[in-house]
Amino acid sequence: MRFNSVGFALTVGMALVVVLMGFTLLSAAGLVGFSAADVEAARIEAGKPQPQDTTMALVDAGLPRPALSEAEAAAVAAGSALYASNCAQCHAVNEVVVGPALAGITKRRPVSWLIPWIKNSSKVVASGDEYAVAIYNKYNKQQMPSFGLSDSEVKAILAWLTSQENQGKAMASQL
C-alpha cells in the first residue's frame, strides 16, 4: 500500500485544529487554562521571589505611568487576557456597550470597592451600596455575571485598563 503524505499531513493538521478549538472553548468556559494563581504557585514552587505589586500604587495615585517594570508588564498582559475573556463582551474602555465605559474607573471608585464589585456585583447591590444600586438601575437592571477571579487578577484587569487610558492620553498629546 502506498503512503499518501499529503493526506496524512491534512489529517494531522485537522486533528490539531480540532484540539485547539476544543481547548479554546474549554478555556473560555474556565474549565482549563492558567490563572494568575497557577502562575504564582509555580513561581513559589520554583523558589523565585514574588514581584512587588507596585502596579496598583500607580493606579490608585492616578499618576502617569513610567516605563513598566517586568512585573508590571506581566500584570498588564495578564489583565489584557482577562479583560478579553471576561469583560469585553459587555464593556469597552471609552464607550458604553451593555455596561459602562471603564476609562477612569479607579478615579470613580477605590480599588477596595472595585474588587468585590467585579467579583460579584449582585452581592454588592444586595448589600444596599448606593453607588452599586445606582449603576444597576442605570443599566436597566442588567446583572453583571459573577467571576471567579482572584484579587490579583482583578488588579491586573485594572492595571490593563489604566494602561489603556494612559495610551489614549499619550496619543492625544501627540496630536
Domain span including residue 48: 38-174
Residues 62 and 130 in one domain: yes
Model-wide pTM > 0.85: no
Residues 10 and 51 in one domain: no
pLDDT of residue 43: 58
Residues 118 and 156 in one domain: yes
Residues 9 and 71 in one domain: no
Query: For 108-164, what is each residue's pLDDT tens digit?
Result: 999 999 999 999 999 999 999 999 999 999 998 888 888 889 999 999 999 999 988
pLDDT of residue 166: 61
Query: For 10-48, what is each residue's pLDDT tens digit?
Result: 888 888 888 777 767 666 655 655 555 555 555 566 555
Q: What is the DSSP secondary-structure string of 44-73? A: HHTTPPPPP--HHHHHHHTPPP-SPPHHHH
CATH of the domain at 101: 1.10.760.10
Identify the DSSP state of 148. -
Within 4-150, where are the H helices?
5-28, 36-45, 55-61, 70-86, 105-108, 111-119, 121-126, 130-138
Neighbours of 122 (CB within 10 A): 13
Residue 20: half-sphere exposure toward Cβ, Cα within 13 Å: 6
Q: What are the C-alpha distances in Å from 87 to residues 60, 93, 130?
A: 21, 10, 23
Residues 107 and 160 in one domain: yes
